[in-house]
C-alpha cells in the first residue's frame, strides 16, 4: 500500500447526520431519565412532583425518541454504514474480548465494546418503548402483563442508565473519540493506532478519490 | 453485499481468511443481541409479576436495597411541585356545602372523637400494594352526622391543601365503616409525605381516592369528578373491579 504524500492531521469520523441524531437522542434520553426518575420514587416524586405534567412529557418524548434515528437511517448512507458496522462482528472482533489476544487484533471503525453497547442500547430502547406502551395504553392487558411490563420497564431503565453512565465515562476518558462525535473528526494518529483497519480504509478511499480526480482531468 | 474486501489490507494475523478484512461483512452478532434481549423482555412481561413478588420478599429485609424496582413498598406521589406542609397546630378540617351546620375541626378536636382502628392494605392503581397498614381515624360517617347532611345531598367533594388535588365519593360510599378521616398510620402520626397531618383512607378503593393533606369536605348534590378522575381514572374506584385491574379486594 502506498503511503499518501500528505496525511491529514485529522480525518472525518462521523457524518453531520450521525452527530445530529446522536445529539437529539441524547437530549431525548436525558428528558426521559429526568421525568422517569421523577415518577419512579423518592426523592424525585416529592421534589419534582407535578405527576400529570411529568407523565405527559415522558410519554410524548418516549413516543418520538426513535424518530431522529429512523429519519437518519432513511436519509443518511453514513448513518446506515455506521449502523451496519456496529451490528457486524468480524472474527477479529470476537478475539478482542480475550485480553491475551488483543495485540493480534486490528480493529475497524468501532471496538467490540462499542458494538455491544450500541446493540444493548437499541434493544433497551425498544424494550422501554414496548413496555411503556403497555403501561400507557393498558386497557387490552391484564394485571399480570401490566405488572410485568412495569417490572421490565423499571429494570431496563436502571440497566440502561448505568450503561449510559459508562458510555459517557468512556467518552470523557478518550477525548479524541469524544471529538469524533462532537466535531466530527478525530486525529489521524488516534485512528491509525486505535482503529487501524478503519484508518487504512479511509486513507485508501481518499487516495482513490484523488486518482479518480486525476483521471477526469 | 457492499464494502469491498481489500486483499492488500490483509496481514499475517488475518489467518481466518479474507472475509474477515471488512468489518461490514462480519456476522450479525448485533442483531442476535437485540433479538435475544427483546425475547428476554417479552418473557419479563409474562413472568415479571411472580419474579417481582419473590424478589420483593427477599429484598424487603435488606436495608439500602429498598429503592430497587420491586413491589410492596410505598411510592410517594404528588401532583404539585412538592409536598405541602401544615403543622398539627395550624391544621383544621372544614365540612361545608349541603349541611345543616358548617363545622370546623382542629387537629386536637379530631383526636377527641371516637377513634376507629383499621389494619388494611393500601393498593395503588399503578400496581404497588402495601399490606397490613395500621390506620387510625374517625369514621367519615360520624363527621357527616355531626354536621347534618341535607336530604338533597348525594355526594362529597374533597379538597387538599396542596391547592390542586380533589377527590369525590358518593354519600353511600362515604358512609361505609372502612372509610375514615385518618390522623395516624403505620403506628405513628401521618408524615408529611404520606399526607399528614390528616388524610382520607378509603380502604376498598384505589389509593388515589384516599386524598392526602385533607383540608375540606364539601357536601354536594352531584358527583364532581376529582383530579385523576378527570384524567381517565375510574370515579367508582373499587379495588379489583375498576381501572381494568383485578387485584384482590381490600
Using CB atoms and an 8 Å cut-off, which of residues 83-102 of chain A contact chain B?
A: 84-93
Which residue, B153, B207, B192, is CA-closest to B175? Answer: B153
Distance (Å, whole) CA A188 – CA A156: 37
What pLDDT is stored for residue B20 in this prediction? 45
Average confidence score pLDDT of chain B: 89
Longest dimension (CA), chain B: 98
DSSP for B99-143?
BSS-EEEEHHHHHHSPPEEEEEEEE-TTS-EEEEEEEEEEEHHHH
pLDDT at A15 over 90: yes
Contacts of B26 in chain A (CB under 8 A): 88-91, 93
Interface test with B, best of A45, A49, A115 (most B CBs within 10 A): A49
Distance from CA of A84 to the nearest CA of B (A): 6
Q: What is the pLDDT of residue B208?
A: 97
Window from A103-107, A134-138, B139-143 with minimum mean pLDDT:
A103-107
53-92 in chain B: CB under 8 A from chain A:
67-69, 71, 75-83
**A29 contacts: CB under 8 Å, gap ≥ 6:** A65, A164
Per the model's pLDDT, the better-predicted residue between B159 and B51 turns out to be: B159
φ and ψ of B136, to 5 deg: -135, 135
Structure confidence at residue A4 (pLDDT): 54
Chain B nearest CA to A141, separation (Å): 8
Q: What's the confidence (pLDDT) of residue B17?
A: 42
> Does residue A109 belong to the interface with chain B, where contact is any CB pair within 8 Å?
yes
- Summarize the confidence of residues A160-169 as an average pLDDT: 96
Label residue A125 by pLDDT band (50, 70, 90): very high
Q: Is the pLDDT of residue B2 over 90?
A: no
Interface test with A, best of B22, B30, B40, B85 (most A CBs within 10 A): B30
H/E run at residue B169: strand B166-170
Q: At what angle are helices A112-136 and A51-64 packed, to 10 degrees?
A: 130
Sequence-distant (≥ 6) Cβ neighbours of residue A74 within 8 angstroms: none
pLDDT score of B7: 46
Beta carbons within 10 angstroms of residue A162's beta carbon: 10
Q: How far, in Å, are A41, A202, B164, B185, B213 from residue B193 at the CA level?
A: 12, 59, 16, 12, 9
Provide, rounded to the nearest whole percent, the portion of chain A with pLDDT above 70. Answer: 95
Q: Determine contact, residues A49/B81, Cβ cutoff 8 Å.
A: yes
DSSP state of A139: T
The CA distance from B165 to B227, in Å, is: 6
Q: Which residues in chain A are closer than 8 Å to B81, comparing Cβ atoms?
A: 48-50
pLDDT of the residue at A17: 96
B window 195-214, beta carbon within 8 A of A: none
DSSP secondary structure code for residue A3 in this structure: P
Residue A41 confidence (pLDDT): 76
Across-strand partners of B197? none
Q: Backbone phi, then psi, for B193, in 5-degree steps?
A: -65, -35
Whether residue A165 has pLDDT greater than 90 = yes
Among A23-27, A135-139, B184-188, the least confident range: A135-139
Of the candidates B122, B131, B140, B132, the one whose C-alpha atom is nearest the C-alpha of residue B208 is B122
Calculate what percentage of chain A has a pLDDT beyond 90. 70
Which pLDDT score, from 0 to 100, does residue B55 have? 78
Q: Is the pLDDT of residue B191 over 70?
A: yes
The per-residue pLDDT for A90 is 87
Q: Tell me the percentage of chain B whose pLDDT exceeds 90.
A: 73
Task: Specify the range with the lowest mean pLDDT, choosing from B75-79, B136-140, B172-176.
Answer: B75-79
Q: How confident is residue B203, by pLDDT bands cut at 50, 70 and 90?
A: very high
3-class SS of residue B41: helix
Asked if A191 reaches chain B (Cβ–Cβ under 8 Å), the answer is: no
Are B41 and A127 within 8 A, CB to CB? yes
User: What percentage of chain B carries pLDDT values higher than 70?
Assistant: 86
Provide the pLDDT for residue A213: 59
3-class SS of residue A30: helix
Give the mean pLDDT of B14-39: 77
Q: How far apart are the CA of B30 and the nearest CA of chain A, in angstroms?
A: 4
CATH numbers and ranges of domains, chain A? 10-87+109-211 (1.20.950.20)
pLDDT band at B74 (very low <50, low <70, confident <90, very high): confident
| Higher pLDDT pick, A92 / A21 | A21
Q: What is the pTM of this model?
A: 0.81
Burial A102-121 (b: 16+ CB within 10 A, else e): eeebbbbbbbbebbbbbbbb
pLDDT band for B61, please (50, 70, 90 cuts).
Answer: low
Cβ of A150 under 8 Å from any chain B Cβ? yes
Q: What is the pLDDT of residue B18?
A: 45
Listed by start position, the domains of chain B span 1-62, 92-231
Predicted confidence (pLDDT) at residue A187 exceeds the cutoff of 50: yes
Nearest CA in chain B to A139: B244
Lowest mean pLDDT among A68-72, A141-145, B44-48: A141-145
Looking at the domain covering B92-231, what would its CATH class be? Answer: alpha beta
Taking the CA atoms of residue B13, residue B17, residue B22 and residue B25 in that order, the dihedral angle to the nearest 10 degrees is -140
What residues contact residue B22 under an 8 Å CB cut-off, 6+ apart? Answer: A90, A108, B3, B4, B5, B6
A 10 A CB-CB count for B183 gives: 24
Over residues A30-48, the mean pLDDT reads 87
Q: Is the pLDDT of residue B226 over 60?
A: yes
**Does residue A79 have a pLDDT over 50?**
yes
Mean pLDDT over residues A2-8, rounded? 64
How much is the pLDDT for A217? Answer: 40
* Predicted pLDDT at B14: 45
What confidence score (pLDDT) does residue A109 get? 95
Model pLDDT, residue A43: 78
CA distance B80 to chain A (A): 4
pLDDT for position B72: 72
Separation of alpha carbons B175 and B145, rounded Å: 10
pLDDT (mean) for B219-245: 95
DSSP string, B182-249: EEEETTEEPPTTTT-S-EEEETTB-GGGS-SSEEEEEEESS----TTGGGT--SS-BTTSBTTB-PPP
Is the pLDDT at B25 greater than 90? The verdict is no
Decide which of A100 and B90 is more confident.
B90
pLDDT for the residue A212: 65
Amino acid at each position: 500500500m502506498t503511503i499518501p504524500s500528505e496525511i491529514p492531521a485529522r480525518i472525518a469520523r462521523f457524518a453531520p447526520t450521525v452527530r445530529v441524531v446522536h445529539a437529539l437522542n441524547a437530549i431525548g434520553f436525558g428528558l426521559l431519565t429526568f421525568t422517569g426518575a421523577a415518577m419512579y420514587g423518592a426523592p424525585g416524586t416529592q421534589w419534582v412532583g407535578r405527576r400529570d405534567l411529568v407523565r405527559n412529557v415522558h410519554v410524548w418524548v418516549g413516543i418520538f425518541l426513535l424518530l431522529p434515528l429512523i429519519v437518519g437511517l432513511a436519509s443518511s448512507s453514513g448513518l446506515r454504514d455506521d449502523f451496519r458496522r456496529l451490528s457486524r462482528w468480524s472474527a477479529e472482533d470476537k478475539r478482542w474480548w480475550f485480553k491475551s489476544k488483543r495485540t493480534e487484533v486490528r480493529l475497524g471503525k468501532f471496538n467490540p465494546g462499542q458494538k455491544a453497547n450500541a446493540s444493548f442500547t437499541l434493544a433497551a430502547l425498544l424494550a422501554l418503548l414496548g413496555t411503556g406502551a403497555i403501561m400507557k395504553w393498558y386497557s387490552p392487558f391484564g394485571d399480570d402483563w401490566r405488572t410485568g411490563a412495569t417490572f421490565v420497564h423499571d429494570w431496563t431503565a436502571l440497566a440502561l442508565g448505568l450503561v449510559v453512565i459508562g458510555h459517557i465515562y468512556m467518552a470523557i476518558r478518550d477525548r479524541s473519540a469524544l471529538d469524533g462525535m462532537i466535531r466530527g473528526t478525530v486525529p489521524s494518529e488516534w485512528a491509525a493506532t486505535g482503529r487501524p483497519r478503519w484508518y487504512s480504509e479511509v486513507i485508501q478511499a481518499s487516495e482513490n478519490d484523488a486518482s479518480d480526480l486525476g483521471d477526469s482531468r | 453485499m457492499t464494502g469491498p474486501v481489500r486483499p492488500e489490507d490483509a496481514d499475517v494475523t488475518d489467518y481466518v481468511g479474507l472475509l474477515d478484512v471488512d468489518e461490514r461483512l462480519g456476522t450479525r452478532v448485533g442483531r442476535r443481541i437485540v433479538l435475544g434481549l427483546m425475547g428476554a423482555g417479552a418473557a419479563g412481561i409474562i413472568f415479571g409479576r411472580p419474579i417481582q413478588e419473590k424478589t420483593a420478599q427477599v429484598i424487603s429485609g435488606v436495608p439500602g436495597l429498598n429503592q430497587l424496582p420491586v413491589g410492596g413498598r410505598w411510592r410517594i406521589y404528588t401532583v404539585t411541585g412538592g409536598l405541602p406542609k401544615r403543622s398539627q397546630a395550624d391544621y383544621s378540617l372544614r365540612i361545608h356545602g349541603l349541611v345543616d351546620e358548617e363545622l370546623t375541626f382542629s387537629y386536637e378536636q379530631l383526636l377527641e372523637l371516637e377513634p376507629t382502628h383499621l389494619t388494611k392494605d393500601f393498593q395503588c392503581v399503578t400496581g404497588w400494594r402495601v399490606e397490613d397498614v395500621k390506620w387510625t381515624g374517625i369514621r367519615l360517617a360520624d363527621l357527616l352526622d355531626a354536621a347534618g347532611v341535607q336530604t338533597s345531598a348525594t355526594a362529597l367533594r374533597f379538597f387538599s391543601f396542596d391547592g390542586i388535588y380533589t377527590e369525590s365519593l358518593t354519600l353511600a360510599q362515604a358512609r361505609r365503616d372502612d372509610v375514615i378521616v385518618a390522623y395516624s398510620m403505620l403506628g405513628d402520626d401521618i408524615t408529611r409525605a404520606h399526607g399528614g397531618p390528616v388524610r382520607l383512607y378509603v380502604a376498598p378503593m384505589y389509593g388515589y381516592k384516599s386524598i392526602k393533606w385533607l383540608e375540606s369536605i364539601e357536601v354536594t348534590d352531584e358527583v364532581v369528578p376529582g383530579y385523576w378522575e378527570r384524567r381517565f381514572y375510574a370515579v367508582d374506584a373499587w379495588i379489583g373491579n375498576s381501572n381494568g385491574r383485578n387485584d384482590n379486594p381490600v
